[in-house]
Structure 1
C-alpha cells in the first residue's frame, strides 16, 4: 500500500515588533499576550510530538519494559466473526517461555500454544492433535538494529514496517503484550493523545485516531480507533474501533493482567503436557532433511 508521511517541524515564529509599542500601550500589551499564547502553543505542540513519539516507541518496544506477564483478554472482530478469550503466561527473561490458551466463545473450541525455550507446540483440543517444531538458536537470537528506522519506503514507494522478533513466541498474545502492529497504525497526523485513565488499577494513555489507510479501514470496516496504552510498559490494555455511525466493529479488552509476578516459569512446561491420546501431526522435518543430506552426499 502507498502512504504519504508528513513531517512537522515546530519552529518559533514569535517576534516582538517595537512599532506601535509606544503609541498604543493597550494594543502592545494585547499583542504581547497573543505572542505569549503563541509561544505557549508551540511549546505544547513540541511536548505533544515528543509524547506521541514516546508512546509509539513504548508500544514498538513493549517487551523491554517487563520480564513476565500473566492475564487474559477478549477479542471481538465483527467483520470476520471472531469472538475469543485469550489466557496467557509469558516470560521474557534469560530463558523465554510462553503458554497461550485461546477459547472460541462461540463454539467453545480450545487451542493452546506453548514454547519451552527449545520447542514450540500447537495443541488442538477439538480434534485431539498437536504439532511441534524445534526452534533453532539462531532464530531465537535474531535482533533488530536499533539504529535503523522501524518504517521506511522501499524502491517502489511502498511503506515497509520493521517488526522486532518475539523470543518467547507468544503468538496471538502479542496483540496485547507486544502491540507492534497497532503502533504502526499511528502516523504523524492521524491521532492524538486524549488524556490518561485508570484501567485495571494501571495508568493508561488514551489515544484517539482515524484510519488513514483506506485498505485497512475497509478490511476492518472502521474509520476511527481508540487505544488505551499502559503508561509503564507500552502494553495495549484496550482497543475499540468504530465506523462512521459510531458503531463498534472490533475490540480488544484486557480482563486481567499482572506484570513480573513471582512465579517459577521454568516448571510450567511440565504443567501443560500434551495428553497421551493426542495425535502428533507434525511434519517430519528431520527425516526430510536427512534424506536431502544423503541425496546430496551421493551426488557429490
Structure 2
C-alpha cells in the first residue's frame, strides 16, 4: 500500500462553504438555489450548501504557482447529483457523480490559473462543501513521496479484484471506440435513465443521449476542447470549454497525512459523461477497495466474457444508497461495466445498471459528432 504525501513544494489552501474565518481568505458566491444546512454528519465543519439549480463558487485570492490541483470534500448522503460539473475560470475540469462517489476527497481537476472553482448543478441535489487547493511550484509526480501507509487499504484485498479494479479505472486505454446503450436506475435519488452513446477515444470525440423516464432527452456532443449540450424539446443549447488536465496525482486512491481517503478519477479524453458510468466506471471501481469484494464467477454477457465481482457496501454508501450488497459484471477485455445490481438486507434491488447493446472497435464516423450550434435555438449557458 502506498501513501502519497503532499510535497513541500505544494501549498495548501482550504475554503469551506460559507467561509470559515479560521481558513484561508476566500469568499463564496451563489447563482441559483443552494440552501445552507448545519449539523450535517460527514460535512467539513458539519455544514454545507445543497443546490437544485445554478452554480456555487469558491473564490481564492493570492494563490500562486504554475498550476493548482483542486479537491472537493464529498461525505454527505444528501449529495445525489449524478453529474456535478466542476469548473475553473469557467472551463470545465471534471464531472463527478456525487451520488455514487465514495466518502472522502475527490480530485476535481487542475488549472493553470488557480483563482477559483465552481460546481454546477447537473441532475439531483448538488452538494457544496469544502474545496482544497494544492498550488504547485513546478511540482511533478517525482516530487511526491511514496511511503508505507498505516491508514488503511488502498487496493482490494483480493489480488484478482485489484487487477479488475485497475482495468476499470483505465478502461479508456483498452478500446479505440465503443457504441451502445444502457439503462441506469437508482431508487435513492429517482434516477431512471436510458443512455445511448457513440465514443471515439482515439479521436477524442463522443455523442451521448440521455433520456429520463417520462422526461425530455438531453444530447451532448464533446471533443477534447469543448462540449455542446442540446435540449431538443425546448430548442435550447449550452456550450462549455474544457480545461486539459496538466497535472494529476499518479495514484488513483491514497491517503493524505490526516489519513483521509483521496480519490483520483481520470478524465475521459472523449468527455463522454453519462456514458462513463460504464465506459470508464471509476466510482464503481473505487467501491472495490472499501469492501470485501471477491470474484464469484465467470459468465458470458452480450456475447462477451465477463467476471462477476460481489461485495458489501461500507457504512457511508450503504446508508446513502439504501443497499447492503452489490454485484458487478466486468468485461474481461476492456474493464467496462456491463451490469450492476445493488440489494438491501431483504434482497430487494435498489439500484441497477443494465447494458442492452455494446460494440467495440467497429468504427465511429467523425461526421456523427457535430459541434455546430442549432440555428434559432436559445443559448442558456450553465443551468
TM range (shorter): 0.7 to 0.9
For the structure 1 residues 184 and 111, does the alpha-carbon distance in structure 2 shift closer, same or farther, using more than 3 Å as the test? Answer: same
For the structure 1 residues 199 and 164, does the alpha-carbon distance in structure 2 shift closer, same or farther, using more than 3 Å as the test? Answer: same
Question: Quick check: 1:74–1:252 contact (8 Å CA) kept in 2?
Answer: yes
Question: Quick check: 2:158–2:294 contact (8 Å CA) kept in 1?
Answer: no
1:101 aligned to 201, 209, 219, which one? 209
Instruction: Give the Å deviation of 1:189.
Output: 5.2
For the structure 1 residues 7 and 268, does the alpha-carbon distance in structure 2 shift closer, same or farther, using more than 3 Å as the test? Answer: closer
Q: In the alignment, which residue of structure 2 is the partner of 1:155?
A: 257
Question: Quick check: 2:199–2:206 contact (8 Å CA) kept in 1?
Answer: yes
Aligned residue for 1:218, secondary structure, equals: helix
Unaligned runs of 5+ in 2: 1-74, 76-102, 105-150
Question: Over residues 17-54 of structure 1, what are the superposed CA-to-partner deviations in whole Å (9 max), with x where a residue is unaligned?
Answer: xxxxxxxxxxxxxxxxxxxxxxxxxxxxxxx9331111
Q: In the alignment, which residue of structure 1 is the partner of 2:192?
A: 83
In our comparison, the structure showing a higher alpha carbon Rg is 1
Q: In the alignment, which residue of structure 1 is the partner of 2:333?
A: 232
Partner Cα separation in structure 1 for residue 360 and residue 220 of structure 2: 20
Q: In the alignment, which residue of structure 2 is the partner of 1:269?
A: 369
CA RMSD, Structure 1 to Structure 2 (Å): 2.3
Q: In the alignment, which residue of structure 1 is the partner of 2:223?
A: 116
Q: In the alignment, which residue of structure 1 is the partner of 2:167?
A: 58
Partner Cα separation in structure 1 for residue 159 and residue 317 of structure 2: 26
Unaligned runs of 5+ in 1: 9-47, 284-300
For the structure 1 residues 58 and 103, does the alpha-carbon distance in structure 2 shift closer, same or farther, using more than 3 Å as the test? Answer: same
2:349 aligned to 233, 243, 248, which one? 248
Q: How does 1:139-218 map to 2 (within 5 A)?
A: 139-140=243-244, 142=246, 144=248, 148-187=250-289, 190-212=292-314, 214-218=315-319
Q: Which has the higher helix share?
A: 1
Question: Quick check: 2:154–2:254 contact (8 Å CA) kept in 1?
Answer: no
Moved more, 114-123 or 168-177: 114-123
Instruction: Give the Å deviation of 1:277.
Output: 3.1
Aligned residue for 1:206, secondary structure, equals: strand
Question: Quick check: 2:292–2:311 contact (8 Å CA) kept in 1?
Answer: yes
Question: Quick check: 2:287–2:313 contact (8 Å CA) kept in 1?
Answer: yes
Question: Over residues 201-255 of structure 1, what are the superposed CA-to-partner deviations in whole Å (9 max), with x where a residue is unaligned?
Answer: 000100010002x121111110100000000000000000000000000000101
Question: Quick check: 2:291–2:312 contact (8 Å CA) kept in 1?
Answer: no
Instruction: Give the Å deviation of 1:118.
Output: 3.3
Question: Quick check: 2:218–2:232 contact (8 Å CA) kept in 1?
Answer: yes
Partner Cα separation in structure 1 for residue 291 and residue 312 of structure 2: 9
